[in-house]
Amino acid sequence: MSYDVELIRRDFPILDRRVGEYPLAYLDSANTSQKPQVVIDAIADHYARHNANVARAMHQLGAEASAAYEAGREKVAEFVGAARAEEVVFTKNASEALNLAAHSLGADLAPGDEVVISVMEHHSNIVPWQLLCERTGATLRWFDITPDGRLDLAAAAAEDLINSNTRIVSLAWVSNVVGTVNPIAEIAGLAHAVGALMVVDGSQAVPQLTTSVTDLGADLVAFTGHKMVGPTGIGALWGRYDLLSGMPPFLGGGEMIEVVKMTGSTYAPPPYRFEAGTPPIAQAVGLGAATDYLGGIGMAEVAAHERTITAYALAALGDVEGLRILGTTAIGPEGRGGAISFTLATADGLDIHPHDVMTFLDSRGVAVRGGHHCARPLHERLGIAASTRASFYLYTLEREIDQLVEALDYTRNFFGRVA
Amino acid sequence: MYQEIILDHYRAKHHSGLREPYGAQVTHVNPSCGDEVLLRVALQGETVTDVSYEAIGCSISQAATSVMTDLVIGRTVDEALGLHEEFTEMMHSRGEIEPDEDRLEDAIAFIGVARFPARVKCALLGWSAFKDAAAQALAGERMKES
């Protein structure tokens, strides 16, 4: 059976929208994905028929809401190949999941210990580690990148980046800017060899690739619901159960306790230890529906489409005059994420600012992101302040890429005309 | 929204570059997009004698800063801050007021930008840096006098 994008698009009501006189070309899915009707309906149905608080409400509706929330957890656990549902902690987003990881995993770090990240990380996988190092006196180190946007493994080996002082390594699986797929299993092997733990930011990968947290070799994996056709307000941290069991709480409050006395408290086992307060209940239901939806299509098919549409876009954008793609322009054997960031200049060498590009594209129905995409250090490393990013998903059509290319030509010609 | 005036100023920014002497220097950034301006204000008494700057950013922020320097150099700080107020009011009008061309000159070109709420802060970046630097420079001038 061939993959039918037009058929899939019928599941997403928003994709029929127009922006002014143009059809919407939504090329900002790395920012947030659109939602299929089944996800929208699952959330509405939960609120309409089953709404109550979880765990603490003992009545019929409470039981239904609790069961629905836990069913969401089971679906997410299955989706990422977790050994058991209790390995999935719900958070409000990937940022909170990474903050949880940094806070709880790093609680006993001390001066002399080292945490390793990379220069290509999203701010959410930089700042929590900076805060941790400030708090504990540990040292933050990072992988540099090669000119084509890959982790510079040779330089890392030469400078003994991962060594006996390393306690935690935290890396993006797939870059949200240059689309690089990082060799997580290989680096997890290096980390484990020195007794360090491997944390993975899976925000851009889990929505696009078949995920098996055990094959990945990681100890903790953060990801978010809204980038995988689920609702906003829910993310997750997967962790090996024995590891989670030994980690101290992050946020304190209701439902994360065992016994509270004024002189001190004891804490619930995972995942509840890390879910203080009323959790994102309807969102867990929606995210469960999202994993059902993606599973129904098949993640292998979703990944194959991503690869096809990314190859088409790399070729089409490569032909745009004045356009320079950041990072790798080829899809290597390891694959490439569907985020393509680029700069655009006029024939006489004027760099057109990404916010101007974005506004021009928006006026022609094309939604992209302009700026540093929450990865300022990466842009600084590449010697630029900002870029324009187009990103794709299971519903992206070749004709939307064509609409992007036409709008880019129009933009460059506008800025390029001689005053 | 991108009128000829904006494009002209973007392609050839007036008073661009950093110059001496100056009374105060400030850096203002727009954290959501990374636009930055490093701006110096020189005063003689109450009068703005020079505004020099180095900036990176979009055509809106660059052109607005260029236009701003044309407007404020040669005026007193009070007059310049009055123009800042008028410009800010125009930018927050959602494009619904008739700007005074005699007062705002080239800056009226930005009325089109006022209809795009996400871009208003771009147009105000250089102006807010000027306001900050002018206040500091003025305090310095008054210290000299006393």
pLDDT in tens, A291-325: 999 999 999 999 999 999 999 999 999 999 999 99
pLDDT in tens, A217-255: 999 999 999 999 999 999 999 999 999 999 999 999 888
Domain final residue pick, A295, A319, A341: A295
For each of the domains in chain B, give its residue range(s) and CATH number, in order of start: 4-145 (3.90.1010.10)
* CATH code: domain of residue A77: 3.40.640.10
pLDDT of A195 higher than 80? yes
A344 DSSP assignment: E
Tell me if B4 and A419 make a contact (CB, 8 A cut-off).
yes
pLDDT in tens, A200-223: 999 999 999 999 999 999 999 999
A374 is catalytic: yes
Among B1, B34, B62, beta carbon nearest to A385: B34
- A119 and A196 inside one domain: yes
Q: Judge contact between B93 and B124, C-beta under 8 A.
A: no
Into how many domains does chain A fold? Answer: 2
- A390 and A323 inside one domain: yes
Q: Judge contact between B43 and B50, C-beta under 8 A.
A: no
- A138 and A217 inside one domain: yes
- A272 and A189 inside one domain: yes
What residue has token string 């979009």?
A: B58
- A193 and A247 inside one domain: yes
Residues of A in contact with B119 (CB under 8 A): 355, 359
Tokens of B107: 């800056």
For A103, the 3-state DSSP assignment is helix
Tell me if B32 and A414 make a contact (CB, 8 A cut-off).
no
CA A388 distance to own-chain centroid = 18
Residues of A in contact with B36 (CB under 8 A): 385
Residue A40 has what pLDDT?
98
- A368 and A277 inside one domain: no
User: B38 to chain A, minimum CA–CA distance in Å?
Assistant: 15
Tell me if B4 and A355 make a contact (CB, 8 A cut-off).
no
How many CB pairs (< 8 A) connect A and B? 46
User: B48 to chain A, minimum CA–CA distance in Å?
Assistant: 30
Query: Which of A188-202, A272-286, A344-358, B22-36 is the least confident region?
Result: B22-36
User: A127 to chain B, minimum CA–CA distance in Å?
Assistant: 15
Among A352, A359, A372, beta carbon nearest to B34: A372
Q: Which candidate, A235, A174, A258, A170, places its Cα nearest to that of A210?
A: A174
- A323 and A386 inside one domain: yes
User: What residues make up the domain containing A375?
Assistant: 5-31+299-416
Among A301-310, A379-388, B92-101, name the most confident range: A301-310
- Average pLDDT of chain A is 95
pLDDT of A82 higher than 50? yes
pLDDT band at A419 (very low <50, low <70, confident <90, very high): very low
Tell me if A353 and B59 make a contact (CB, 8 A cut-off).
yes
**Consecutive H or E run containing A74:** helix A60-79
Residues of A in contact with B1 (CB under 8 A): 359
Query: Which of A235-239, A262-266, B21-25 is the least confident region?
Result: A262-266
Q: Judge contact between A354 and A342, C-beta under 8 A.
A: no
- A262 and A393 inside one domain: no
- Distance between CA atoms of residues A394 and A15, nearest Å: 12
| Helix, strand, coil % over all residues of chain B, rounded to 5 | 55, 20, 25
What residue has token string 């930011």?
A: A201
- A10 and A59 inside one domain: no
Among A350, A359, A371, beta carbon nearest to B11: A350
Q: Which candidate, B74, B77, B96, places its Cα nearest to that of B85?
A: B77
Domain final residue pick, A251, A275, A295: A295
Count of CB atoms within 10 A of residue A113's CB? 19
Report, as an integer, the average pLDDT of B32-50. Answer: 91
Count of CB atoms within 10 A of residue A235's CB? 27
Residues of A in contact with B58 (CB under 8 A): 353-356
- A162 and A61 inside one domain: yes
Alpha-carbon dihedral of residues B40, B42, B46, B49, nearest 10 degrees?
Answer: -120
- Distance between CA atoms of residues A48 and A28, nearest Å: 31
Tell me if A419 and B8 make a contact (CB, 8 A cut-off).
yes
- A250 and A109 inside one domain: yes
Domain final residue pick, A261, A295, A329: A295
* CATH code: domain of residue A348: 3.90.1150.10
User: A419 to chain B, minimum CA–CA distance in Å?
Assistant: 7
Which residue of chain A comes nearest to B12, CA vs CA?
A419
- Please identify which of the residues A98, A206, A213, A374 carries the catalytic annotation: A374
Residue B3 has what pLDDT?
80
- Average pLDDT of chain B is 92
What is the percentage of chain A residues whose pLDDT exceeds 90?
Answer: 90
- Distance between CA atoms of residues B48 and B41, nearest Å: 7
Residues of B in contact with A414 (CB under 8 A): 2
pLDDT band at A58 (very low <50, low <70, confident <90, very high): confident
Residue A140 has what pLDDT?
98
- Distance between CA atoms of residues A67 and A83, nearest Å: 20
- A289 and A335 inside one domain: no
Tell me if A355 and B119 make a contact (CB, 8 A cut-off).
yes
